[in-house]
Amino acid sequence: MTQETVISPKQRIRIDWAELHRYRELFYYFAWRDLKVRYKQSVMGVGWAVFQPLATMLVFTLFFHEVAGIGSGDVPYTVFSFSGLLYWNLFSTGLLRASNSLVDNQGVITKIYFPRVIPVVSSTIVALVDFLVAFVLLVALMAYYGIAPGVAGLLFLIPSILLTMAAATGFGLLFATLNAKYRDVRQALPFFVQTALFVTPVIYPIALVPDSYQWALYLNPMTGVLDGFRAWVLGEGEVNAALIWLGVLTTAVACVAGLAYFRSREREFADYL
């Protein structure tokens, strides 16, 4: 009696959770390997996760607050900008690492089969670890300035991190697929991410933007995250919940579109790479 195996086409959106569970150890391996590579032979080790946003915060405080006179309401500008940089770094680092993950793992992808989504998602873990390490310094700064989040702020922390990670992963799936075929993405994306920092209210409050244009900034998922964090955790400004949902909608669209495009080209990755 012969055994017949039927290979049916995969649906573009559906996620095979059973298959991902079988390959869960590979996910752990990729995430742990990326962490070790990032800090291997580094004198400061995880200290870089704190040093980079801290140094950037000091530069921003000097030039944008002291020289340009950008205010931050009742919250010290150091806390205001540092909190913005933490979330922005979580998004931008996760996005860039996810976008390059297929090319970085081409040696494995071209030799054996495993769910290609694993290296894309696992690559964002490094950004999350950096965020959590640097978040300790943010808590210390808040304690120094006597800032204590309320219940709403504590409840917002986990959703804000999940929304940022989802946005980075959704866009990461899209750009990882493009990057597998068009290596221009690897060169162009860092420039656009760097530019996007200045159209995201990381170093300035959203109140400085005219009301008629604020909705456009809220299409950026990070605008809602930063606005919500500063209002609910730092107690600065008010939250327009309806506009924050625009960012949630953008994230949902990015995840669905990114996953659909990724799945439609998944079989061709080995040929591209």
Question: What's the token pair of residue 34?
Answer: 């990326």
Predicted local confidence at residue 10, as pLDDT: 56
Average pLDDT of the residues in 90-106 = 93
| Lowest mean pLDDT segment, chosen from 108-112, 156-160, 257-261 | 108-112
> What is the per-residue pLDDT across 127-172, written as a single tens digit (0 to 9) for each?
999 999 999 999 999 999 999 888 888 999 999 999 999 999 999 9
> pTM of the entire structure?
0.90
Q: What is the mean pLDDT of the chain?
A: 88
How far apart, in Å, are the Cα atoms of 60 and each of 11, 73, 85, 140, 172? Answer: 46, 16, 10, 19, 27
Residue 71 has pLDDT above 70, yes or no: yes
Helix axes 151-181, 221-228, angle to 10 degrees: 160
Q: What residues have CB less than 8 Å from 35, skipping those under 6 apart?
A: 125, 126, 129
Which region holds residue 41: left if phi is over 0, alpha if psi is between -120 and 50, else beta? left
Q: Do the beta carbons of residue 44 and residue 51 sit within 8 Å?
A: yes
Segment 112-118 shows an average pLDDT of 89
Q: Which long-range contacts (CB under 8 A, 24 or more apart) does 253-256 make?
A: 254/167, 254/170, 254/171, 254/174, 254/221, 255/166, 255/169, 255/170, 255/173, 256/13, 256/170
